[in-house]
Amino acid sequence: MRRTVFAIIAVVAAFLALVTPASATTLAGAWAPLNRCPVDDPAMLAADGTTVAALCLSSSAQTGTFTIGSTTLTTGATDLQLGVLNRGGTYSTVAPASGAIVGDPVDIPGGLLGLMCPSNLPLVSAICLQLANNPLNRVTATIQSAGAPTDFNLAAGTGTGTPILTLPVKIKLDNPFLGGSCYIGSNSNPIVLKPANLTRPTASVVRFNPDGTPSTTGQQGYLSLGGANQGDSTFAVPKSNGCGLLGILSGAVDLKQGLPSPAGENSLVLNTPVTNLGGFQTPRSFSPTEGQQLATRWHAAVVG
């Protein structure tokens, strides 16, 4: 069934895509949602607070749906984080070194049997015969960044119908038969998501002290947006690549799953993601070393 492989793509939600790596940083109090902000990136550190302000962005959703053709699936949790540089209302993004999006590995229902069996290819058919009730049948899929996000639009994040950013992703499939480099999409040919609010979100301001404790007069703060679904129905899903020795199983995956799948046949909906954007409440007050001071306070909030 086509649904087996695409369950993992739903994990993207830009909102999108998933479990934070075990080595992820834990931050105290209100800092917590910004735990992967790339505060040590040179561009962030160079922000002076006057001409350029360094900010942190996080967006996470626990559930959602992904539709490929007529098949709709439930997504896993998603986590997207970025650094944002504000140059007088013009925004650019800085991705964490580990990638902007991370997520829960997803078990593909049916495993390899569902992913590429049955098949009229002799090699694939031979593999299929070995898989029934075999632990080697299990396939997991994990979303990964396929390049740096671009086109961040703050106004779109507070409104409806306009893409909030452009997010290139790829999906890694893991199974002993598929090998260690099996992907749907790639850095050169990614799944390109452009999520937008489907309804207008509710906005609130969170302010807190440097140690993360809430305070209505805190120097730290962020705009928090929630209560609105996000979605995209404009993206295409490319072919798989690198599956099996010398990529010999990629064709079987594509044939069974109907890849590539053109734009207009796919859609993503994230259920009420929570998006936070901020750092210093008034970056100009920390000029000319605002970026450096943001990094210092972020590190001071690390727990453990």
Summarised one tens digit per residue, pLDDT across range 215-260 is 999 999 999 999 999 999 999 999 999 999 889 899 888 887 788 9
pLDDT of residue 5: 36
pTM, two decimal places: 0.83
pLDDT of residue 242: 96
Q: pLDDT grade, residue 163 (50/70/90)?
A: very high
288 preceded by a cis bond (ω within 30 of 0):
yes
Domain ranges of the chain: 3-105+141-298
Q: How far apart are CA 183 and CA 99, in angstroms?
A: 16
Do 207 and 214 meet the contact criterion of CB atoms below 8 Å apart? yes
What are the residue ranges of helices labelled H in the chain? 3-6, 42-45, 111-116, 122-131, 154-158, 250-257, 290-300
Q: How far apart are CA 206 and CA 275, in angstroms?
A: 12
Strands (E), 167-243: 167-175, 179-184, 191-193, 196-197, 202-208, 220-226, 230-232, 240-241
| pLDDT at residue 280 tops 90 | yes
Query: Tokens 């895509």 belong to which residue?
Result: 17
pLDDT of residue 133: 65
pLDDT of residue 70: 53
